[in-house]
Structure 1
Amino acid sequence: MPMSVASMRFLGRSHPPMNREHNYLVKPNAQVLMVILHAYLYILLNFRRGKNL
């Protein structure tokens, strides 16, 4: 998915490399939200595809 790759690159750029681990410890909610959002969209697309078939 191009969106996920772009968002991952944006997240990687927005934080300096030294603070990356610190940011993951302090703000894990953003990554969890992204994972849940991607999973939800994936399930939604598969559900619609199954409905159409």
Structure 2
Amino acid sequence: MGEQTERSQEQQVDPADWELVTDEAIAAHGGAREAVKALLIANAALERELALAALL
């Protein structure tokens, strides 16, 4: 579990970089609508993963 925590802390974005990261996500997904859709899909997957982890 400690390794996962370290990895997630390393992947955190500095709040000062949110504008740049947002622009990169929009560009990578072909526009704002596609970027939002990708975020919703990722969020649903994370929620399922957390629900499964809670069962363990």
TM-score of the aligned structures, taking structure 1 as reference length: 0.48
Q: Which has a greater percent of helix?
A: 1
Larger Rg: 1
TM-score of the aligned structures, taking structure 2 as reference length: 0.46
